[in-house]
Structure 1
């Protein structure tokens, strides 16, 4: 397994471990060795698979508003990284998208995270990312995981998925947007307002 991030990215883009995926392999991520903010979610959805760019949809619009980051910064600033638990669209099941194949994380995740030496803030979305990055919160409800990480201890925050399907959750848990989002925005602003190398 290569240790250099560029070599890892090339290997991931060429990955065909999951040849039987409904739409075929199409690894999607956004990684640079300068990444200081890392967004970790579940896996690309059908729209992301088609566009080839993560969070280029209403979910992404909400996520960027939570971070107080504009679209050009989100996609072109090398300090913003996106690394889902599964790199490809896993297909659709009866209750939504299928889980990310475990082989993806076991093959790539540790090596990539080790190569990202400048990450200062990790934003964790979804049960599979929670179980990997914050195992003590694994098995808890998303609400409880968000609440327990709401102060950003260890420079990690758990976020609910920003999908419009979570509008009801956000309405029922208004404390997230009034209390937690300002803390996340402060952390993001501190990182992006600091010149690289400082």
Structure 2
């Protein structure tokens, strides 16, 4: 190998790393502004975050991990199962809708000032939280499920698996059963 061949092979081996380093140095300032966005845009990590939060909520609420197969699923539950296969985000949103409707029904039956508004579920949930008719665990589960639902609706990088969406729906269904028991429905 001659000196010219050696220098040529050395240059060819170093040209790409040097080019990448030069580009990184030139674009250093614009890249610094993008780093926080890249951290937030990692949707797989967000899915794991949703799953971890869902597991914490499930553990706090004492909800079983698997979907119950004891009774035949209702048409609503079948719809959620099918929806979770196609769009887990939509399944989470639909399961939250169950909780909203049950909250409205339960809030209407609370003693004191009558809650007549049929559309302000946030106020209904707040009224339920303030009442002593539902226990602290149900209030915490209600808040946690609302937070997870808000992530599903408002976070652009939200991603969730079908399994996690079904677990969410199961917890929502159990909370609905509790709220219906409170309201006597």
Higher Cα radius of gyration: 2
> Which has the larger share of helix?
2
Alignment TM class, shorter chain as reference: under 0.3
Higher strand share: 1
Greater relative contact order, per chain length (Cα 8 Å cut-off, separation 6+): 2
TM-score normalised by length of structure 2? 0.27
